[in-house]
Amino acid sequence: MKNGKSTLFLAATIVTVLNFSSCSKYEDGPMFSLRTKKARLTGEWEVVRIGNETFPQDGYSVEMEFEKDGDFRYTYSYDTYSYSYNGEWEFSSDKEEVDIIIDNQVETFEILRLKNDELWLEASDNTEWRLEAK
């Protein structure tokens, strides 16, 4: 009986490892996460790079907030001035892209990396956006 349990445990371990080794949906990872994609995406993010431009720079910063219920906020700030756009977000059916909808305009971003503290997106114009959790 003990030998049967060991074999069952070994088989379960192999199946689990093989499933997790092909778990990554995004080009740059993560390879494995216990949190759902929605749980990793929701929250406040600070834009640290768009293309070759790094942020914050010269008092200018950009933030995005993805709420669990699908609400979205895009905020840019310059020194003491700040302005926000409100909209909605949703995953594509395969969760490889995220659509951001503001004033009936849809911007689709391909998700390159989605970790608890890092989000890399590629805009439709092939510009890469890198964000860090706040």
- For residue 85, the domain's CATH number is 2.40.128.280
Judge whether 19 lies within some domain: no
Model pLDDT for residues 98-117, shown as the tens digit of each residue: 999 999 999 999 999 999 99
Instruction: Look at the chain and report how many structural domains it folds into.
Output: 1
Whether 56 and 43 have beta carbons less than 8 Å apart is answered as no
21 has a pLDDT exceeding 70: no
CA distance 51 to 118: 16
For 22, phi and psi rounded to 5 degrees?
-115, 25
Judge whether 108 lies within some domain: yes
In the chain, the percentage of residues whose pLDDT exceeds 90 is 72
Judge whether 115 lies within some domain: yes
CB contact burial 24-45 (16+ within 10 A = b; e otherwise): eebeebbeebeeebeebbbbeb
Judge whether 122 lies within some domain: yes
Judge whether 53 lies within some domain: yes
Judge whether 25 lies within some domain: no
CA distance 108 to 87: 13
Residue 105 lies in domain: 33-133
8 has a pLDDT exceeding 70: no
Judge whether 23 lies within some domain: no
Contacts of 8 (CB under 8 A, 6+ apart): none
Q: For position 32, what pLDDT does the model report?
A: 54
Q: Is the pTM of this model over 0.85?
A: no
12 has a pLDDT exceeding 60: no
Contacts of 34 (CB under 8 A, 6+ apart): none
For 58, phi and psi rounded to 5 degrees?
50, 40
Judge whether 26 lies within some domain: no
Model pLDDT for residues 53-100, shown as the tens digit of each residue: 999 999 999 999 999 999 999 999 999 999 999 999 999 999 999 999
